[in-house]
A and B are shown apart, each in its own frame.
Chain A
C-alpha cells in the first residue's frame, strides 16, 4: 500500500484533570481518506488539532512524513484545516481569503492571484471571486474555505466537522465534491465528524473513538457489519445488543441464555467460546424479521420472505413506537422483561404487517445474524 504519512505514537493529551486522548496509536497512509468519528468529547477534534499543531501532546510523538512534529509550530506545518465555523476572514473577499496562505509563504501577488482564481474556478466559484465572504451562501463559503486550504498544495487536508452547519441537501452535494476532490488530488484527508453517514459515505477507513480511545478502525462495511465492541455497536446505531451466558456449544453453534429466552448463534471463527462465559452480541436491525401474532390467533402473517418459522431465535414482544426515514421504517419493540429491540423494514412491507400497538409480535433472526462483540 502507500507510504505512511501520519503516525501517532502513544499520544496522550490531558487538559488539567481531563484526559482528552489516551494513548493513541494510529497511522494514516498517503492518499487515504480517514474519518475520525465519535460522540462529542471523544477526543477526535483534539486529535486533529494536535496534528495541525494547535494543541501540543502531553506525551507521545506525532510524525508527519517520518519527522517528529512535536516541536514544530502550527504556522510551520503544511497541514491546512477546514474549520467547522470555516473561519473565513470577514475583512477579506473570497479571493483574498484564498490568497492568504500564499501571501504568508511569500508568493508574489500576480502568482497569488492566478492560483487563487484557479482554485476558486475549480470549485465552481468563478462568479464570486471578488465577493466579500459575508455575502456568500453556506455552500459557497465552504468552497472558499476548501480553496483556501488547497491552494497551498498540501499533502494532507484536515477537516473539522466542515459540513455540520449546512442544510441536509447541501451536505450530500458537498460530500460528493469532497470525495471527488480527494480522489483527483490523491492527497490525504483526515475528516472529523460525529455523523455516521458522512464518515461512511466518504472515508476509506473509519476510526471510531470513544472516551479518548480508539474503539475500532476499519472500512465502513466492517464497522457496520462487524462492530468490535458494545460501544461501537451502540454508536453506529441500529444494532440490537443482546447479553447472555453460554450454556452449550455443539455442531458449530453456540447456545446461550438471556433474560428473555435461549438462543443460538454460529460459533465465531477466531474466538474460542467457553461454557458459562458471558457474551455480548449485536444483531443489526435489518437482520431481524417481524411476524404479527394477534391475540389467540393461530395464524401468523409473515412479512419477510426467505425466513421461515423454523428459525431457532424467536422472541415475543410488543410494539412501542416507530420511526420513518424515507423508505425505511424502524420499529421499536419491547419484550416482557423490558429489553428493547429495533427492527428495520421497508415501508412497503408495513401494510402486510397490520401494525397496531396492542398486538403481539414475534421477532426472529438466523444463527448467522448475530455478531459477537469484544468485552
Chain B
C-alpha cells in the first residue's frame, strides 16, 4: 500500500468514526426505547399470569388462547377493514382538495392552506374527538339542523360512522398535506404534454398526474392506515367499542385479569400487520419501472 492510499483509508475511517459519533444518540435511543421494549414485549407474550401476577415463563398458551378465540379474529378483521376503509375514504376525499391546492390556486394560497391544515395538530386529538360529541349526538348540531327539514334524529355516536368520522379527523389534514406536496412538485410540462398529445383534462389526472404523484399518494395512504389501525380514541369514544378494535382489545385484556401477556400477543400481531402493510406499500411506491 502506498503512502497516499493509507492516508486515504485513514481519512475514510476517521470519517466513518465522525459519522458514527453523530448517529450514536439516535442509535442509543432506538436501542433503549424501541428495540429493548420490543424484545421485552415479545418475551412477555410467553409469560404466565397466576393470581393476577405475571410470572416469567416460556409457554405458548397465550398465543394458543388468543388465536383460538373468535373475538380476537373478529376484532382483527374489523380493525383491518375499518383501517382499510378509512385509507380509501381519506385518500379519495383528500385528493380533490390536494389537486385544487396543487394546480388551481396561487402559491401564496397554497402556503396558507398548508398552514391551516397543520393547525388542527396544535390541539390534542382527544379534544378534537370530544368536540364531535357536540356535533354528532342525538341532540347535537347535525341532528338539530336535520330536524328543521324534518329528518332524524339519527344515531351517529357509538356507530361505525362515528369511528370513521374520528379516523378522518385524525388523518385527513395530514393526507391532504402529503398529497399536496407530491402533486405540487409535478413539472407542469408533463401535464401540458399530455394535453398536447390529445389527453383530456380528466383523463390527464388518471394517466399522468396520479402516476407521477404515486409515491406521495401511497405514503399518504400508508400514514392514514397506520394511524387508523392503531387508533384507540375514535373507536372507543365515537364508535362506543361496538365492536371493539384491536387497540380496545389490548386495554380490555390488560384490565381484565391483568392479562398483559395476552395483550402483548395482540400488540405483536398489530405490529406485524403494520410492518407488512407499510413495507409492501413503500416497496410498491418506490418500485422501479418495469421493463
Interface of A with B (CB < 8 Å)? 52-54, 73-76, 78-81, 83, 85, 87, 89-93, 100-101, 104-105, 130, 132, 134, 148-149, 152
Residue-wise, chain B 254-291 has the 8 Å CB interface mask toward A (1 for contact) of: 00000000000000000000000000000000001101
Residue-wise, chain B 187-226 has the 8 Å CB interface mask toward A (1 for contact) of: 1011011111111110100011001101000000000000
Residues A75 and B198 in contact, CB atoms below 8 Å apart: yes
A residues in contact with B187, CB < 8 Å: 85, 87
CA distance A83 to B289 in the complex (A): 23
Contact of B195 among A54, A85, A152 (CB under 8 A): A54
Residues A83 and B189 in contact, CB atoms below 8 Å apart: yes
CA distance A152 to B189 in the complex (A): 19
Residues A75 and B199 in contact, CB atoms below 8 Å apart: yes
Interface residues of B in 19-59 (CB under 8 A from A): none
Distance in angstroms from A76 CB to nearest chain B CB is 7
Could you jot down 16 A-B contacts, CB within 8 Å? A54-B195, A74-B192, A75-B200, A80-B197, A81-B196, A83-B193, A87-B189, A87-B190, A87-B193, A91-B289, A93-B289, A93-B291, A101-B197, A104-B197, A104-B198, A104-B203
CA distance A74 to B197 in the complex (A): 8
CA distance A53 to B200 in the complex (A): 13
- Chain A interface secondary structure, helix, strand, loop or mixed? loop
Q: B201: nearest residue on chain A (CB-CB)?
A: A75
- Chain B interface secondary structure, helix, strand, loop or mixed? helix
Residue in B194, B195, B203 with the greatest tally of chain A CB atoms within 10 Å: B195
Number of B residues, CB within 8 Å of A: 22
CA distance A137 to B193 in the complex (A): 20
Residues A104 and B214 in contact, CB atoms below 8 Å apart: no
CA distance A80 to B197 in the complex (A): 6
Q: B291: nearest residue on chain A (CB-CB)?
A: A130
Q: How many A-B residue pairs have CB under 8 A?
A: 69
CA distance A81 to B196 in the complex (A): 7
Distance in angstroms from B48 CB to nearest chain A CB is 54
Which 5 interchain pairs have the tightest Cβ spacing? A101-B197, A104-B198, A87-B193, A74-B195, A87-B189
Residue in B196, B207, B211 with the greatest tally of chain A CB atoms within 10 Å: B196
Residues A101 and B291 in contact, CB atoms below 8 Å apart: no
Residues A104 and B196 in contact, CB atoms below 8 Å apart: no
Residues A104 and B199 in contact, CB atoms below 8 Å apart: yes
CA distance A334 to B142 in the complex (A): 84
CA distance A359 to B269 in the complex (A): 90
Residues B189 and A85 in contact, CB atoms below 8 Å apart: yes
Residues A74 and B196 in contact, CB atoms below 8 Å apart: yes
B residues in contact with A79, CB < 8 Å: 196
Q: B199: nearest residue on chain A (CB-CB)?
A: A104
Knowing A75-B201, A85-B187, A132-B291, the reply to whether A91 touches B195 (Cβ < 8 A) is: no
B residues in contact with A100, CB < 8 Å: 194, 197, 199, 207
CA distance A308 to B5 in the complex (A): 68
Q: B211: nearest residue on chain A (CB-CB)?
A: A91
Residues A75 and B195 in contact, CB atoms below 8 Å apart: yes
